[in-house]
Structure 1
Amino acid sequence: MTAAGARLRRRLDGDDLLVCPGVHDPMTGAVADAVGFDAVYMTGYGTSLSTTGYPDAGLITMPEMIDNAANIQERIDAPLIADADNGYGNATNVVRTVREYVKAGVGAIHIEDQTFPKRCGHTRGRQVIDREEAVGKVAAAADVRDDRGEDLVLIARTDARGTADGSLEEAIVRANDFLDAGADVAFVEGPTDEAELGTVGREVDGPLVYNFVGGIGSSPYVDLADLREWGFDLVIFPLAATLSTIANVYADMAAFAEDPVGAMRAIDETFADQPVGSLHEFSGFPEVIEWERRYLPDDERGKYEGSLGDEVDGA
């Protein structure tokens, strides 16, 4: 069982909307954790872009996603909700995928009904598999959860709304079928307006996720209070850290091209203004030094005498 999953389940049992910022690696995860959230979301798009340099178009593999999720969950205290794409194959592939995410210790995963290769749920050209096959994949995931990690929260996503011949009605039928097959939470991707969100809230019989992708997506900006009123339990902001990273790094690099020394000074000052301590403190050097004190021979401490560099926690 996963302790992260148990904490997430308790949080989902509350009355408030659970708000989860998206992160794409352990560093951005640590930043979100330092700010303080009840749960954090690992974006598939951001993971693909930051790991491979390519977009969310089915180009990243299951082991790469698992490794990223495990490293993020290891670094943060909040439970992680991880994108598991389409399970990386058919129902038998889903069995291994869910087993691997259970071993990674994450709080939740979501699996979608797209064909392979899949793509971002807010780009054109998506296709979904047959409903019966999709239900079978969710059932497989639920059985693994029950057998290997019963606290893992299983979120089942349908992209049926955004296909060429898709409809909101088909997406709602699939979402309810996924819940009947054992999913804990339903995820209807791509409602196009507030009316559709209200319909999803009324007609899906179970907990619901809203994917707040912002300006790049087809779903609307909405007030969080409205989401809760419509019946949504969880909202993810998948590209929060990814877009912020790209925008801020671009601005800093542009300044760096004009005046490297001035830009570096400004970056240092901006970092110092954040309540995370020094880079060494934020990254965990004090913990490493404590390990050394606890487990290494006493004469190992001598390496610090007379050496140069920043002092971290008395080292």
Structure 2
Amino acid sequence: MTDSGTALRERLDRDELLVCPGVHDPLTAGVADAVGFDAIYMTGYGTSLSKTGYPDAGFITMPEMIDNAATIQERIDVPLIADADNGYGNATNVIRTVREYINAGVGAIHIEDQTFPKRCGHTKGRQVIPREEAVGKIEAAADVRDDRAEDFVLIARTDARGTGDGSLDEAIGRANDFLEAGADVAFVEGPTDESELERIGREVSGPLVYNFVGDLGSSPYVDLSSLDEWGFDLVIFPIASTLSTIPNVHADLSAFADDPVGAMQAIDDEFNAQPVGSLHEFAGFPEVVDWERQYLPDEEQDKYAGSLGDDPESE
């Protein structure tokens, strides 16, 4: 059993909505962890964009996603919920996918029923595989969970609502079939208004996740208290860190283009005013120094005497 899975299940069992910000790499995950959340979500869109430079349209591979998830989970102290796209193939591929995510130590993944290549769940052109095939993939994932890590949380997502001929009836039917096949949590992607959310909460027979994508998607802005009232257990804000990063970096570098020295000073001042400490402290240099003292020969400490540079311990 994964410690992250156990911790996540405990949080999901609480009588309150679990709120998870989305992050795209260990750096943004470290910031989210410093702020303080009970769980954190790894975005597939942000991972693809930050690691490959391509959008969430099936360009990123399973090893790249799992590597990102593993390094994020290593960086944070709370459970990570990771996007596993469509499992990167059929049911037999899903077996390896789930095993690898379990080995990465994350608390949960979600697998969707899109065709390959897949695309962002809030863009046009999505297609889903036949329901029977999708159920088989969830059954395979659940069997791996039961065999390898019983507390690992399996979230099953359906994109049926957003296809060309998709209906909410089909999406709800798939969600219930996925739960019966062994999923722990159901994820109906792309409800279009509050009435659809209420119906999902009423007709899906199990824990539920809501994907809060804001203006980039088709799902509505809703109060968290309403989601809780309708029966949702988990809400993810998948592209929070990605949307925050792009405009802030653009603004800073635009200023840098006009006045490099002044912009650098402003960036320094802004960073020094925030609560996570210096860059070295945030990155973990004090811990590295502790490791050196604990495990390296005493003479290795001589390198600090008279040397120049920031002292991570004094920050």
1:205-216 → structure 2 map (5 Å cutoff):
205-216=205-216
Q: Write out aligned runs for 1:205-284 (5 A).
A: 205-284=205-284
Q: Deviations over 1:170-226 (max 9, x none)?
A: 000000000000000000000000010001000000000000001100000000000
**Distance change >3 Å, CA 61–CA 15, structure 1 → 2:** same
Deviation digits for residues 16-69 of structure 1, max 9, x if unmatched? 100000000000000000000000000000000000000000000000000000
Paired amino acid for 1:16: E
The reply to whether residue 88 of structure 1 matches residue 88 of structure 2 is yes
- Alpha-carbon separation, structure 1, partners of 2:148 and 2:82: 17
Q: Distance in 1 between matches of 2:139 and 2:176?
A: 13
User: Could you say which residue in structure 1 is the equivalent of 2:48?
Assistant: 48
Task: Measure the CA separation in 1 of the matches of 2:26 and 2:113.
Answer: 27
Runs of 4+ with >6 A deviation: none
Equivalent position of 2:137 in the other structure: 137
Give secondary structure in 2 for the equivalent of 1:209.
strand
Q: Which amino acid aligns with 1:261?
A: V
Work out the CA distance in 1 between the residues paired with 2:314 and 2:25.
Answer: 29
Give the direction of change, closer, same or farther, for the CA distance of 1:301–1:314 in structure 2 (3 Å limit).
Answer: farther
Residue in 1 that maps onto 2:198: 198
Q: What pairs up with 1:298-309 in 2 under 5 angstroms?
A: 298-309=298-309
Structure 2 Cα separation of the partners of residues 251 and 239 of structure 1:
19
Q: Which amino acid aligns with 2:185?
A: V
Matched, 1:126 2:126: yes
Aligned to 1:292: 292
Q: Which residue number in structure 2 is paired with residue 26 of structure 1? A: 26
1:262 is displaced (CA, Å) by 1.0
Listed as ranges, the gaps of 5+ residues in structure 1 are none
Amino acid across the alignment from 2:285: F
Q: CA deviation at 1:9?
A: 0.1
Q: TM-score, normalised by structure 1?
A: 0.99
Aligned residue identity for 1:94 = V
Letter in 2 for 1:132: E
Q: How does 1:163-182 map to 2 (within 5 A)?
A: 163-182=163-182
Which residue does the alignment assign to 1:107?
107
Q: Quick one: distance in 2 between partners of 1:99 and 1:235? A: 25
Residue type matched to 2:117 in 1? Answer: P
- Residue 148 of structure 1 aligns with an amino acid whose one-letter code is R
SS of 1:313's equivalent in the other structure is helix
The aligned residue for residue 60 of structure 2 is 60
Q: 1:116 — aligned with what?
A: 116
Change (3 A) 1:194 1:121: same
Q: The residue matched to 2:21 in structure 1 has which SS?
A: strand
| SS of structure 2 residue aligned to 1:109 | strand
For residues 99 and 150 of structure 1, the distance between their equivalents in structure 2, rounded to whole angstroms, comes to: 12
**Alignment length (residue pairs):** 315
Q: Percent identity?
A: 80
1:76-122: CA deviation from partner (whole Å, max 9, x where unpaired): 00100000000000000000000000000001000000000000000
> Aligned partners of 2:251, 2:193: CA distance in 1, in Å?
33
Distance 2:120 2:314 in 1: 47
1:307: Cα distance to partner? Answer: 1.0
Question: CA separation in 1, counterparts of 2:149 and 2:273?
Answer: 41
Question: 1:197, 1:314 → 2: CA distance?
Answer: 51
1:314, distance to aligned residue in structure 2 (A):
5.5
Question: Within 1, Cα distance between the matches of 2:168 and 2:271?
Answer: 45
Q: Secondary structure at the match of 1:123?
A: coil
SS at match of 1:97: helix
Give me the TM-score of the superposition, normalised by structure 2. 0.99
Alignment root-mean-square deviation, CA: 0.8
